[in-house]
Amino acid sequence: MTSKSKREQIFYGTPVSRGIAMGPMSVAARGFSAPGVYPISPGAVVSEQSRFDAALTVTRGQLSVLQTSIESVSGRDEALIFEAHRMVLDDKSLVDQVHREIDSRLQNSEFCFYAVMQTFLEAMRRVVDPYLKERTIDLEDVCQRVLRNFSGENGIIEPDYQRILVAYDLSPSDTASLDREKLLGFVTEAGSINSHTAILARALGIPSIVGLAGAVLESTTLAPAILDGYSGKFIVYPSAETTDYYEKLSTKRKEARKSLETIRDQKSTTIDGHHITLSANIEFTHELDLVKKNRAEGVGLFRTEFFLLESSNTKMPDEDAQEKIYGELARGVSPDLGIIRTLDSGGDKLSTEPLTQPEPNPFLGWRGIRVSLDRQEIFMEQLRAILRASSQGKLGVMFPFISGMTEIRECRRLLQECMDELSAAGTPFDRDLEVGAMIEIPSAALVAREMAKEVDFFSIGTNDLIQYTVAVDRINHRVAKLYRSTHPSVIRLIKMTTEAADAEGIWTGVCGEMAADLSLTPLLVGLGVNELSVGPHDLAPIRKALISLKRSECQKLAETALSLSTSQEIYELTRGAAQKAYPELFEESL
């Protein structure tokens, strides 16, 4: 792990998913995947260089053929692009550099070519000039073509070693499709703590850090590294002392986690006997094992956009395919409740359809329930699938991004229509399935009194509620410090929601990331929420927090918090109470 020849280098970013990863890095170029890497003997350098030269020759030939055929169809101008691609391959300095890298790294030629190109490409991507940006795309294209033309068995494959991935950015679908077996953790230059990528990383238990300026350009594939997903430190070429420190810390943390397993079977009830339902947020049914293992009392949020929009098929899964997945959830979570959230596309998630014009402000645009109500066929297909699956277990349904009464009434009307259709066809379903509204837009919290009459429960999506209350884009790193979960306006909106729910005799859950923040548990309990829904990896610490608190004291704390005027004061109040009630969860050991 350690290196005597290189100096330790530390990058600081925002930790988004806890855990420590130690291992070689793999730097991912955007646009194409990294080829496999393997060592070669000094005697094989010349033949590796020849393999590279041969790949260039094949590529040149292909480009010439392409140029001629495009010229005959579209004319000379369109075909000139291939001329430009060929010129890249004729660049002697590039060829020389790849030869030198093969000689000095003693690694296979496709990997050395890839390493040279990706450093070069990443530098070009950062240039604002639109002409150069275009050229970057050309270069990516050429690079991909050359990589496909290497002879031998090693084509373009995912790295075959366990590694820490370093990337400029990762989309939620990139993250979901990463091979978990090979991935120790990831760091990115872009991204923020509440992006869906970060949420997914936490759900999948992948240690990760975002916002590491300069990491990609500065990093070298296969260099040893340590990722500290607790503090946000990314250490490249760690010294022997650093490695030793992290090895010990990692063992200590694993032991501390194990000790939490001893309370796994305890109900999440406060010291003074008030039960708070502790359920899980998941995106894939394979997470149900972890949900059960950690004794969640159900699934409080099943996000459906990942499997509906990010499958490798271009077509969205149809009603039958959806029923199959929802049925797996219903049976897997049984006898507890599994709440399915209808499709929440848009924002930083994928769209249901390609938009002809990119939206200037996607988070304020065609998102969540707005898309579903405009595309009723898709929406009703999903509702029917949920209803059909509801006969296999206890399912609930909730609607995302509700801004007011008209939308929730329309959702209920369409749900009723689906129920009538199924009844007419004699298809079994659960008539009493619970129906909820997500409270994630301030306007919804402000009409919670009225809305509580229309639904069976509220689920507060704090990730969005915070962003829309304080006008801070949840994925914009630049304004991240203004994204404050304890802003007085946010906690007042939560209080309005729980009061409205109480008045109508319905329950309120929190499924946003606030629910998993140990410092905020006293505040949320005091504000009167009945359920906390967190990623499977956060169930154990949040259970410990809940059983260590007195609800009566939390209620007094919340009263005080509601009289305070800054987020800092409220944060200090709740964190202080949390540290007093369960100090062990704040020690370095977790």
Tokens of 180: 């978990």
**Which one of 48, 110, 344, 381 is in contact with ligand PEP (CB under 6 A)?**
344
Residue 464 found at the interface with ligand PEP (CB under 6 A)? yes
Residue 328 found at the interface with ligand PEP (CB under 6 A)? no
CB of 42 to ligand PEP, least distance (A): 53
191/461 with CB nearer Mg ion: 461
Question: What are the b/e assignments for 389-416, b being 16+ CB within 10 Å?
Answer: bbbbbbbbbbbbbbbebebbebbeebbe
Q: Which stretch binds ligand PEP (CB under 6 A): 44-52, 53-61, 455-463, 563-571?
A: 455-463
Pick from ligand PEP, Mg ion, none: which does 18 bind, CB < 5 to 8 A by kind? none
CB of 199 to ligand PEP, least distance (A): 6
464/517 with CB nearer Mg ion: 464
Cα gap 99→81, rounded to integer Å: 26
Pick from ligand PEP, Mg ion, none: which does 511 bind, CB < 5 to 8 A by kind? ligand PEP
User: 29-58: which residues touch ligand PEP (CB under 6 A)?
Assistant: none
Give the 3-state secondary structure of 227-267.
Answer: EECCCCEEEECCCHHHHHHHHHHHHHHHHHHHHHHHHCCCC
User: 427-446: which residues touch ligand PEP (CB under 6 A)?
Assistant: 440
385/511 with CB nearer Mg ion: 511
Contact 220, 553 (CB under 8 A): no
> Could you give the count of Cα atoms lying within 13 Å of 585 in the half-sphere of its Cβ?
26
Pick from Mg ion, ligand PEP, none: which does 166 bind, CB < 5 to 8 A by kind? none
Cα gap 296→265, rounded to integer Å: 10
**Which one of 59, 351, 382, 462 is in contact with ligand PEP (CB under 6 A)?**
462
Residue 461 found at the interface with ligand PEP (CB under 6 A)? yes
142/460 with CB nearer Mg ion: 460
Active-site residue, 418 included: no
Nearest to 298 by CA among 509, 439, 512: 509
Cα gap 567→565, rounded to integer Å: 7
Q: Which stretch binds ligand PEP (CB under 6 A): 23-31, 152-160, 254-262, 462-470?
A: 462-470
Active-site residue, 112 included: no
Cα-atom radius of gyration of the chain, to the nearest Å?
A: 27
DSSP code string of 270-293? -TTS-B-EEEEEESSGGGHHHHHH
Strands 277-282 and 457-460: unpaired
List contacts with Mg ion (CB under 5 A): 440, 461, 464
Question: Would you give the DSSP letter of residue 40?
Answer: -
Residue 348 found at the interface with ligand PEP (CB under 6 A)? no
Residue 512 found at the interface with ligand PEP (CB under 6 A)? yes
Residues tagged active-site: 196, 511
Residues near ligand PEP, by CB under 6 A: 199, 301, 303, 344, 440, 461-464, 511-512
